[in-house]
A and B are shown apart, each in its own frame.
Chain A
C-alpha cells in the first residue's frame, strides 16, 4: 500500500488510463453499431450523458482538426424524444449544437402522439416522462431504426445493473429480463429479425464521476443548467422543485431564489436541481466525490415512488 502522499500524487497525475480505457471501449461499441446495423441512431436529449455519447461518436467517426474541432459528418442521425416539457434553454442548446456540426437531428414530439391519441394524459400537468416510450417506439417504427444508442449507465439504478451493452428488444419494443443474451468478451450478438431492434449503451461501465471527469478532460459543452445558477424553487418532500410554467408552486408553498444546478436534465415536471456552488465541470467532479445521495434519488421525483419503478418502465420500452 502507498502512503497518503503517494496517493495524492497519484490522484493528481495527469495521465488517466482509466478514462482512456472507458473511452476506447465506448468508441469500439459505437463503431460496432455503425458497422453492423442498417439504420442506427443516437438518442440525444442534450443531457450530459447524451452529450458525452455524442462526443464519443465525433471521436469515433470524424477527423480531429489541429484546433481540436471535428471534420466530417456523423454516419448516423441524432434522435430526440421531445416531451414538450423540456427546459427551453436545453432545446436552444441542442439546436445550436446540431446546426454548428452539420449532423442530422430527428425530433419525435410527444405532443404528436397526444394528437394521434396514442398518448393520453390523466390530467394536463401529469409528468410526461413515463409516456416517452410510446413516442420513441412510434419514431422507431416510422424511421425503421434498428439500433438506438443511449447514454444509460449501469450504476444509475439497480434494474440497470443487469443491462447488456447490446440489449435486444422484441417486436413490441419490450425488454425481457429473463431472455437477455449472454454477452461474452466483445463478441456481441447483433442478430435480429425485421421489426426487432437493439438498444446499445456504450457508456454502460461509466459512473457519474467518470462522466464528469471526462466532460472536464474533453471540455465537452453542456447546457448551462448543469452549472451553478440562480433559480426559483420550492421545497417539497425534501427535494428542490423548480418553479416553471408547468410546475407552479402549490398553495402555501414558499418560493425561494437559490444557487442551484441540475445533476440530470429531463422533463421539467420531474427533474429537480440540487443546492450547489459548482461553476464548471472540475467543480462538479469535486462535488460528486462528496455527494451522499444517488443521482436519481436526489433529482428524480418519478423514481422515488418505488425502487422497482425503473424495472417496470424498462419492460415497457423506456430508455
Chain B
C-alpha cells in the first residue's frame, strides 16, 4: 500500500479534511530528525535542489550518505552548535491528508519547546529508541524521557498519542524485542490513561514502516503515516453551552451607523445560531442573535472552532475581549487554580503581578502561590516556592478583573491563558485552568 503522493493520484482539489498537526517528541540521538527527514523525503516534500544541498554537504564532510537529519535543522546558529534551538514547522502531504509537523527539539529547553509545539497539535509521535532499552526483560524499563514526553502531551490535552519504536533494524531479534517494548508501552499507557492511538515499529534510517509498510511476520499493522492519516483533528465540544470570545467589532460599510455592527469571534464551544439568546460577559446584558455572517455571506449557525460575525437585535455595549455566552452558563471567576508551565529564564515569583491573556482580553493578575512543582518524569508533586524555566507546577492567581474561565480539560479556549512579564513583555508561561473560583478562598 502506497500512501505517497504520486502524479497519477495527484489531488487537483485539496483534501477534504483539515491538515493533521502533530508534534514529534524525542531526545538527542533517538533518530527524531532522521524520522522527520524520512517523512519529508518519502512524501516528496524534499525537492531536488534541497537534496543536492544535502549531498554537497555530505561530500564536503566526507560522509557516504546524506544525513537526513540535516533537512530539519534550519538556522545557521544551530548548525554551528549542532543542536536545534526552537520549534520548527514542516509540511508534507499524501493524497488523502495534509500534515504539519511541529518539530520540538529535545535538549535543555525541552519543556518550553514541547509545550509550544503541543499547544496547537492534534497528535504526538513519541520516539522510543529501542537500542537504549534492556531487551532481556519481558517488559523493559522505559526511559525517563519516554514517560516525560507522553505525560507532557497528555497534560496539554493532545488528543492522540503514537509511540514510534525506532531503530528496529539495529536489534537482533526484532520481533521479540518489539513485542517486549510494546508490552511495556501498553502497560504505561493504561496506567497513565494516555490517549494511545498506536505503537509502530520503525526504522527511520531505512524507511521501514514510516511511509510504507514493511511486512514482517510479527507486525501486520499500519505504517506510521497510514496511522496518522486516519486520525481525526482535535475538536472542541459542540454539545455544550455557547461560549464565543469577541475578537473584533466591525461596522460594515463606510458610514458609521448605516450598517449593523458585527461582533466577530471564533466559537470556543457549543454553537451559535440565528435566534439564540446570548448573554454578554462581563456586563450580563442579554440580546438575541439577529443574523450571522460567514466569510461568503450570511449563515444560519456556526459551531465550535469556526469564526462568525454576530449581529444582535439591539444595541448593547460589547467590546473586544467580552464574551457571548449561553445565559447563566459561566460564573465570573476572580481566582484561578491552574497548571503553569514556566517558559522564561526569569523565575516565576509568588507575589508578583503579571499580565494574563485569556481569549481576547488582557488582565492583570497576582501570582498568589506556587502549591507544588511536578516531577516532570512522573508528574508526582514536590514542594516548591517558585518555578524556574522548564518547570511545571500547580499555582493560584488572583485576577484584577473577572474572567469566564472553564477548566482546560473541557475547553482549550476557555481554559488556556498565557502569562506575560509586564517588564520584558516576554511570554513567560502557559496556564491550564483546573479550577475557577469566585473569591479568594483564604
Query: Which residues of A approach B to under 8 Å, CB–CB?
Result: 1-2, 4, 7-8, 10-24, 27-28, 31-32, 34-35, 59, 61, 63-64, 71-73, 154-155, 158-159, 161-162, 177-178, 180-187, 189, 191-193, 204-205, 207, 209-210, 213, 282, 285-286, 289-294, 297-298, 307-308, 311-312
**Which residue of A is nearest B230, CB measured?**
A1
Interface string of B188-231 (1 = CB under 8 A from A): 00000000000000000000000000000000001000100100
Q: Is B442 an interface residue (CB 8 A)?
A: no
B170 at the A interface (CB under 8 A): no
Bound CA span A289–B53, Å = 22
- Interface mask (B290-313 → A, CB under 8 Å = 1, otherwise 0): 000001110000000011000000
How far in angstroms is the closest Cβ of chain A from B116?
Answer: 4
- Given contacts A7-B95, A207-B93, could you give 16 more A-B pairs where the C-beta distance is less than 8 Å? A8-B9, A10-B96, A28-B266, A28-B307, A31-B248, A31-B307, A35-B247, A59-B296, A154-B91, A162-B86, A177-B75, A184-B120, A184-B416, A189-B418, A286-B10, A293-B49
Q: List 14 A-B contacts (CB under 8 A).
A: A1-B222, A8-B9, A13-B16, A16-B16, A32-B247, A35-B320, A59-B295, A159-B75, A162-B74, A177-B77, A180-B86, A292-B48, A298-B49, A311-B76
In angstroms, Cα B427 to Cα A191, docked, is: 9
Which of A63, A161, A182, A213 is B90 in contact with, Cβ under 8 Å?
Answer: A161
CA distance A181 to B253 in the complex (A): 36
Do A185 and B252 touch (CB < 8 A)? Answer: no
Least distance between A215 CB and chain B CB atoms (Å): 12
Chain A residues, Cβ within 8 Å of B96: 2, 7, 10
Known contacts A17-B16, A18-B17, A189 near B296 by CB under 8 Å: no
Cβ < 8 Å to A, chain B residues 104-147: 112, 115-116, 119-120
The size of the chain B interface, using a CB distance under 8 A, is 77
A166 → chain B closest CB, angstroms: 10
Contacts of B355 in A (CB 8 A): 191
Docked-complex contact A12 and B12, CB < 8 angstroms = yes
Q: In the bound complex, do residue B254 and residue A73 qualify as a contact, i.e. CB atoms below 8 Å apart?
A: yes
B14 touches A210 (CB 8 A): yes
Pick from B19, B72, B95, B413: contact of A21, CB below 8 A.
Answer: B19
Q: Is the CB of A189 within 8 A of B420?
A: yes
Interface string of B395-416 (1 = CB under 8 A from A): 0000000000000000011001
Q: Chain A's nearest CB lies how many Å from the CB of B98?
A: 5
Residue of B nearest to A68 (CB): B296
Partner of B425, one of A73, A155, A184, A189: A189
